[in-house]
Structure 1
Amino acid sequence: MASSTIYHARSISLPSRPHPVAEQLDEQLSRLRSSLSTSTSSSSISQCLNGLTDLYSSVDEFLQLPLNQQTLSHNQNAIEQVLDASLRLLDICSASRDALQQSRELLQDVQSTLRRRCSGELSITSEATKYLNTRRSVKKAIKKCHKNLKPSTELKDEAHATVSLLKDVQATTSDSLKSLVSYIGGSQKSGWSVVAKLISKNNNEVATNSLFDDVDATLNSLISQKKSGISSLQIENLTSQILKLETEIQDVDEALESLFRHLVKSRATLLNIISY
């Protein structure tokens, strides 16, 4: 997927023989960037989030190295920038999880109505309208989150490579979360597209919409044709879409919860380091 963050070509200029954890971090960053640039569907969201969780596991190890702790304790101004950025990332994770939870609960209401249908007659207007209204609110909140995911500011020349590496991690995290919020928000009237306007293999076609968009479109269609009746095939199609979307939401939410815990842990470690 397209990324707005510009990465500077460099190698980690840690001591002459970098610690294995630093090398592992650099390799993980490279893999994640490659994944972000070549992903072609929303199904890669959970994979990217899981990759970030693995990345932050290495960050935790990296921050425990005595040399890095000493370096960071003498670069408190730079660390303040990293801490500010970490707070924004945590806010995005929280907002995303809230949006997923809201969507999941309302989808369950729609499913409950589908199960209560009687003699082929079905009225889902109330639940569908409630869901779509909530989706509009979610889109507004998610779009705000998207705007708050800004690229990291450029490092000053004197900044140590340890701080630079942490900012690289945050930049990659930001790009991954941009994809996440685009996936949750779905298509926008303004043209803000799903999953950052993913480009297909031939570089000429935009990737298909997410399941959020599919469910939105189906509910809108069913509401508009209420008077003409809803066929059993349409009901089956909607039920299938909802079940698939619920599975996606569950996978993404679990990955997001794990990432959130690691973000909290790394932030706490940084706060402890600068408080010494």
Structure 2
Amino acid sequence: MSSSSSSVSKTSYHARTISLPSVLHPVAEQLAEKLCRLRSSQSASTSSSSLTNQLNGLKDLYSCVDEFLQLPYNQPKNVEETLDNSLRLLDICTTSRDILVNTKEHLQDVQSVIRRRCNGELNITSEATKYLNTRKTAKKTIRKCLQSIKSSETNNDVFTEVEQITIDIFKSLLSNLYGAEMKSTRSRWSVAAKLVHHRDEKTAFCSEFEALDDTLSVICQKKKNSISALQIEDLKTQMVNLELDIQELIETLEALFRLFVKTRASLLNILSN
């Protein structure tokens, strides 16, 4: 096995041995290299920006996967199972995107109220509360999605490895959208809590989403005239930055969704032949 494929095996989350030819085609070498690079990137922080980078890495990976599928003798060991798993990935991607789109819409509602506030209106509590309620609904969806995600252990081939790293990155994304609360409620949601990706129990992790939740919660508890101009400016900056991160994540997920569809079409073509 080449050094590239050996590196992939060492960095595999479940330490699996990937079945690749002893003499790799250039596309297979690229695929092994991209898998290794993605595994390495998972040790970095899981901020929105780093998650966007990982999702962009997935885009590169799936562009290579589609080329790999076109090569002779590179079919998955179990095409039907891989096809079923591809549908599951499409569902996870769609759920993640829908959560982000909904969050962005309600975020913009709060921003609109803040702009009106600068022209004389003082109360932003109502829209802030609506945003926080949206976040509660999103967390229920995220928890359900995380609990339903299962890893594939049946085949030690490159397609299983691609699927596993895709699932790991989406777990990190969904956990980031949820926030650290998932970890603190371990006794109640033990299954979901175990899916939070590589967090030190002593580390107080706060995602950008949770940070805004905390800020708006504090504002909702204040009297409308006690919110200072400095607090409002800090809030505006926080929301603008988060909106930019959300939009980038949405665009990346939409591009990734199209690649998932393309991969699924290739698998359907293999199955029909």
TM-score range, shorter chain: 0.7 to 0.9
CA–CA separation in structure 1 for the residues paired with 2:180 and 2:195: 5
Report what 2:24 is aligned to.
18
Question: Is 1:251 matched with 2:248?
Answer: yes
Report what 1:54 is aligned to.
60
Q: Are the aligned partners of 2:180 and 2:205 in contact in 1 as well (CA < 8 Å)?
A: no
Task: Choose which of 215, 218, 238 in structure 2 pairs with 1:218.
Answer: 215
Structure 1 residue 183: deviation in Å? 1.4
User: CA, structure 1 residues 58+110, in 2 after alignment: closer, same or farther (shift >3 Å)?
Assistant: same
User: CA, structure 1 residues 154+194, in 2 after alignment: closer, same or farther (shift >3 Å)?
Assistant: closer
Structure 1 residue 106: deviation in Å? 0.5
Q: Which moved more, 1:122-131 or 1:225-234?
A: 225-234
CA–CA separation in structure 2 for the residues paired with 1:181 and 1:223: 26
**Structure 2 counterpart SS, 1:196:** coil
User: CA, structure 1 residues 180+27, in 2 after alignment: closer, same or farther (shift >3 Å)?
Assistant: same
Name structure 2 gaps, 5 residues minimum. Answer: 1-11, 187-192
User: CA, structure 1 residues 260+142, in 2 after alignment: closer, same or farther (shift >3 Å)?
Assistant: same
Report what 2:7 is aligned to.
none
For 1:86-125, list aligned pairs within 5 A: 86-117=86-117, 122-125=122-125
Q: TM-score, normalised by structure 2?
A: 0.86
Report what 2:82 is aligned to.
82
Name structure 1 gaps, 5 residues minimum. Answer: 156-160
Report what 1:196 is aligned to.
197
Report what 2:71 is aligned to.
65
Report what 2:3 is aligned to.
none
CA-based RMSD of the aligned residues comes to 2.2
Structure 1 residue 10: deviation in Å? 2.6
CA–CA separation in structure 1 for the residues paired with 2:80 and 2:195: 33
Structure 1 residue 237: deviation in Å? 1.0
User: CA, structure 1 residues 207+268, in 2 after alignment: closer, same or farther (shift >3 Å)?
Assistant: farther
CA–CA separation in structure 1 for the residues paired with 2:56 and 2:223: 42
Q: Which amino acid aligns with 1:10?
A: T
Structure 1 residue 227: deviation in Å? 5.3
**Structure 2 counterpart SS, 1:28:** helix
Report what 1:268 is aligned to.
265
Q: Are the aligned partners of 1:104 and 1:249 in contact in 2 as well (CA < 8 Å)?
A: yes
C-alpha offsets along residues 91-112 of structure 1, whole Å, 9 cap, x if unaligned?
Answer: 0110111100111011111011
Question: Is 1:168 matched with 2:161?
Answer: yes
For 1:218-237, list aligned pairs within 5 A: 218-226=215-223, 229-237=226-234
- The count of corresponding residues between Structure 1 and Structure 2 is 254
Q: Are the aligned partners of 1:89 and 1:174 in contact in 2 as well (CA < 8 Å)?
A: yes
CA–CA separation in structure 1 for the residues paired with 2:194 and 2:217: 19
Report what 1:153 is aligned to.
153
Structure 1 residue 195: deviation in Å? 6.2
C-alpha offsets along residues 223-260 of structure 1, whole Å, 9 cap, x if unaligned?
Answer: 10125621111111110110010011011111111111
Report what 2:131 is aligned to.
131
CA–CA separation in structure 2 for the residues paired with 1:135 and 1:242: 14
Q: Which amino acid aligns with 2:20?
A: S
Q: TM-score, normalised by structure 1?
A: 0.85
Report what 1:181 is aligned to.
174
C-alpha offsets along residues 86-142 of structure 1, whole Å, 9 cap, x if unaligned?
Answer: 111110110111100111011111011001015665111111111100100000101
